[in-house]
A = this chain, B = another copy of it.
């Protein structure tokens, strides 16, 4: 039992990542395949099964060597049934019997959860979360998402929407969001949101600024450009970053006031801005939390990068032990 393994799968719209881990969270093998979303995504699960069986053969391992397989997936997950529906970047419009197919194809017990939750589990277990009981993970990427672990449990909510940090309303009069409401954190702090904020604020900014110049010239800009120029002390870029960190700090502050986790972890592409971002968010977090929370809840950067998904997915499998 002690040397049984767990497998984690991170299913995405372009690649499927796999890893075999020890029960202590150490990655022993890692590989990936391309996601074939053709024919309504009907190849995806068979490809996963083939790839698992192929690699088990390659490593001289058997189904019996595993406690189980855990997977993170886009779309809406039915954890009891082991099905996924509405994963549009996989072309999965109808309900997919993922658990049934993978268990039948591999002979290994299988469980799954959504990708943001699984990444949160990973960062909490082996990353910035230090395996503490109460950890909130925020991904700042194309969108803003997240996952919440409290009292050692992943929170799901009645319709599976717990952790939808991107749709916290931070500015009731703010930008319209794709979700239909206004002023969601995602409209400001996602990669596209950051550029949107820069465009909006540039209309009122008068001083010299490379960022404003580029915007006025109609150049394509990324959130990375905004942060790089801010680090070079472009005054307008600094103003944009401050605006974003104000709202991120407000959202983090209110998560802190409500949940008081030991750690709030900032991950996703935008968090590549590193300590420059973290320290500014932490300053506003301090402004927006009451003293006991300010003192006990830390803001940290994610540590696992792309591996958070496979590690967190594998950790799901640990619960299949009993």
Q: Which residues of the other chain, B, contact A289 by a CB distance below 8 angstroms?
A: 167, 181
Whether the Cβ atoms of A162 and B258 lie closer than 8 Å is yes
What 1/0 flags go to A154-172 for Cβ under 8 Å of B?
1111111111110111001
Nearest-CB distance from A80 to chain B (Å)?
Answer: 13
Whether the Cβ atoms of B293 and A258 lie closer than 8 Å is no
> Contact size class for A?
35 or more
Q: Which residues of the other chain, B, contact A292 by a CB distance below 8 angstroms?
A: 159-161
Whether the Cβ atoms of A259 and B157 lie closer than 8 Å is yes
Q: Which residues of the other chain, B, contact A259 by a CB distance below 8 angstroms?
A: 148, 155, 157, 162, 258
Q: Answer whether residue A8 sits at the interface, using C-beta atoms and an 8 A cutoff.
A: no
Q: Answer whether residue A58 sits at the interface, using C-beta atoms and an 8 A cutoff.
A: no
Q: Which residues of the other chain, B, contact A150 by a CB distance below 8 angstroms?
A: 150-151, 153, 155, 157, 162
What 1/0 flags go to A290-306 for Cβ under 8 Å of B?
11110111000000000
Q: Answer whether residue A132 sits at the interface, using C-beta atoms and an 8 A cutoff.
A: yes
Q: Answer whether residue A250 sits at the interface, using C-beta atoms and an 8 A cutoff.
A: yes
Q: Which residues of the other chain, B, contact A261 by a CB distance below 8 angstroms?
A: 157-158
Q: Answer whether residue A53 sits at the interface, using C-beta atoms and an 8 A cutoff.
A: no
Q: Pick the residue among B153, B164, B257 that contacts A151 (CB under 8 A).
A: B153
Q: Answer whether residue A94 sits at the interface, using C-beta atoms and an 8 A cutoff.
A: no
Q: Answer whether residue A106 sits at the interface, using C-beta atoms and an 8 A cutoff.
A: no
User: Complex: how many Å from CA A183 to CA B184?
Assistant: 19
Q: Answer whether residue A262 sits at the interface, using C-beta atoms and an 8 A cutoff.
A: yes
Whether the Cβ atoms of B161 and A156 lie closer than 8 Å is no
Q: Answer whether residue A254 sits at the interface, using C-beta atoms and an 8 A cutoff.
A: yes
